[in-house]
A and B are shown apart, each in its own frame.
Chain A
Amino acid sequence: MIQAVLADDEVLARQKLRQLLREIPEIEVAGEGATAAETIDLVRATKPDLLFLDVRMPDMDGFDIVGELSNGSQSLPCIIFTTAYDRYALRAFEINAVDYLLKPFTLERFRAATERALQQIKAKQQNPHAHAAKSQNGSPYTTRIVFKSKGRILFLPVSEICWIGAEENYVRICTQSETHLLRETMAHLEEKLDPSTFLRVHRSSIVNLQYVKEVRPEVDGEYGVLLNNGQKISMSRSYRSRIKYWLDR
């Protein structure tokens, strides 16, 4: 059972969190805090795994609470921010919050956030000293991206990206459920992503190998990549050697 603390100065907001958490059996509410001081005491007393945190509290803001808690001896809980303001998203991302829910959020959005938190908590319990994969220059590859899309803030784990397509000055990031247009370059993204998972198969596409169903030869000696969701991505000759290596694995 995973313990969670809810921190929000508004009763209705806490009530909504409680109601949504009823849908998620693995999580149990350890307590609620209406002020920063209450929340800090509560977290110190109950040592929860997960903290739902509003950014704007009457006595301190959510980041002060996190700062206060990291001064303690115990390890920090996983944090999911819940707020009506989108301007703190980058800060939240930098302190490794699991997600950033903009009010009002739906059950689906909430589910996705708690799902990620659960994964992270389980991973931490199993292997407390895990390290991310390292790139050649010693810095770890990115494991998640933060961006604004369609009026939301997304802390998107790269494992949820199926493929990425180039569109002139933009890239289109495609997940199972939606696509997002980002002002980015393919080259920049490619160097950020772990090459053992993300493969450039064309000048204008990168695929996540976890979502590749098969690679099939086409009639004209070219190859096409077929994804789990039935989408086909063409591959150019110049990138075939890379996929060959992968096919022979």
Chain B
Amino acid sequence: MHPAVFIGAAVSLGCLFALQEWISSRFWNYQIHLGLLLQAWGVQYFIWGVICWVIWWKLNPQINNATLRTMLTFFLPLSIAVGVFEEMIWILIFPTLPHGRPPMPYWRRLAFVLDGEMIDNIVLFWCAFFLFRGLGYYQRFREKERAESQLQSQLVQAQMRALRMQLNPHFLFNTMNGISSLMRSDVQAADLMLEQLSRLLRITLHRGEAQFITLSDEMEFIEMYLAMQDRRFAGRVRQQMSIDPHLHDAIVPTMILQPIVENAYAHGLSKLNSEGLLHIEATADGSRLCLSVTNNGLGLHLTPPNGKSKGVGLTNVQDRLRMHYGDNHSFSITEIKNNTVQVIVTLPLQLSERPIEKSTRYGVS
């Protein structure tokens, strides 16, 4: 801390004491000049301010770590020495004091003043001592609190990252398995799927570890994923998408829809031989964004929604929603009519301020 803080605080305290003494002198009918009082008290406390600052500056670590033994063997003698030292300086500055007594030699005056003020001085010293110690505790406490909250947020970040990264390999291996099976029957199709997978990976790499993206980016990914699934299911599933154009820039957690769509295929659409229908919709309802994925298939009776059968994907989606939005979101999975399942996610609607894409250029050749 700046020395002005110590000196300013100490001198103000001194002036208050001076004022108090002046008022009491009026009360008890003895005459003493306010100017002189202010000088005497002001200087006394100015010296204390300097002393406190020096102690803070030089001894703060020792004060904070002092054991009872150090207090007795080092600080107690120090407090006496400082008390005496302060009075020695003060007496030098004011040769006419103590007030209303015949002139005395220096040592007599020192003895006189110490007699009256030694205990005050020691108390003052120890007040400063414990104040500094308290401040030290407080600072350490704040430091710890900050470190803890930082750790907490890092932990949450790490958990989110882990959850987000859990999805990539999961999805990757499934697709590779698809390619591996196509290789034996249809080289062209396997080649195409490999290219599609590379494109998906490229997009994923570009996103890095971003936790949030725009809905248009999420849908770009979904469209590619759907193109791949369409190839796998050879047109058995009709895919419909209706995205309100106002929502292209809405901010959503990365890979929030992909696991839901994957789930729709894995537990519903893959069980059908024809007439599959998958409908993805994004609408806004006031300040809420509502995403829904509807598919037909088997319904929910074979796959209890809260049972163990819920895949890694949906659990992951719910965990991430809870982490990002707390109670400010909803997730539901219901059988809306016979054998048709609908997943609805609602989130707070936020729009991103996306700049115009820099990678688009126009040219003539």
Contact = CB atoms under 8 A, between A and B. Distances in A.
B360 A145 contact: yes
A169 B365 contact: no
B263 interface: no
Nearest to A142: B362
A147 interface: yes
Contact of A143 (B194, B198, B201, B364): B364
Interface in B343-360: 354-357, 359-360
Interface stretch (A38-46, A148-156, A195-203): A148-156
A184 B357 contact: yes
Interface stretch (A7-15, A27-35, A104-112): A104-112
Given A149-B220, A169-B249, A169-B354, A182 B200 contact: no
Given A150-B224, A181-B248, A183-B354, A132 B364 contact: yes
B361 A93 contact: yes
B359 A90 contact: yes
A142 B364 contact: yes
Contacts of A108: 192
A142 B248 CA distance: 27
Interface in A163-186: 167-170, 181-184
Contacts of B220: 149-150, 181
A183 B356 contact: yes
B188 interface: yes
Nearest to B196: A151
Given A86-B202, A105-B195, A141-B364, A150 B223 contact: yes
B199 A150 contact: yes
Interface residues of A, number: 38
Interface in A104-129: 104-109, 120
Contacts of B200: 151
Contacts, number: 94
A143 B246 CA distance: 30
Query: Main SS of the interface on chain B?
Result: helix
Given A104-B198, A107-B191, A183-B354, A148 B365 contact: no
Nearest to B202: A151
Nearest to B245: A167
B104 interface: no
B228 to A, nearest CB: 11
A2 B297 CA distance: 53
Query: Size band of the B side of the interface?
Result: 20 to 34
B360 A146 contact: yes
A109 B224 CA distance: 16
Nearest to A153: B359
A105 B195 CA distance: 6
A181 B203 CA distance: 15
A120 B248 CA distance: 36
A168 B248 contact: yes
A51 to B, nearest CB: 16
B199 A152 contact: yes
B362 A145 contact: yes
Contacts of B202: 86, 102, 151
Interface string B217-235: 0001001100000000000
A209 interface: no
A106 B192 contact: yes
A168 B246 contact: yes
A94 interface: yes
Contacts of A120: 365
A56 interface: no
Contacts of B223: 150
Given A104-B198, A168-B246, A170-B216, A147 B359 contact: yes
Contacts of A170: 216, 245, 248
A102 B196 CA distance: 11
Interface of B: 188, 191-192, 194-195, 198-203, 216, 220, 223-224, 245-246, 248-249, 354-357, 359-365
Interface of A: 86, 89-90, 93-94, 96, 102-109, 120, 132, 140-152, 167-170, 181-184, 192
Given A147-B359, A182-B360, 16 more contacts: A94-B363, A96-B365, A105-B195, A106-B191, A106-B195, A132-B364, A143-B363, A144-B364, A145-B361, A147-B361, A149-B220, A151-B201, A151-B224, A168-B248, A169-B249, A182-B357
7 contacts: A93-B361, A94-B363, A107-B188, A146-B359, A152-B199, A169-B248, A182-B357
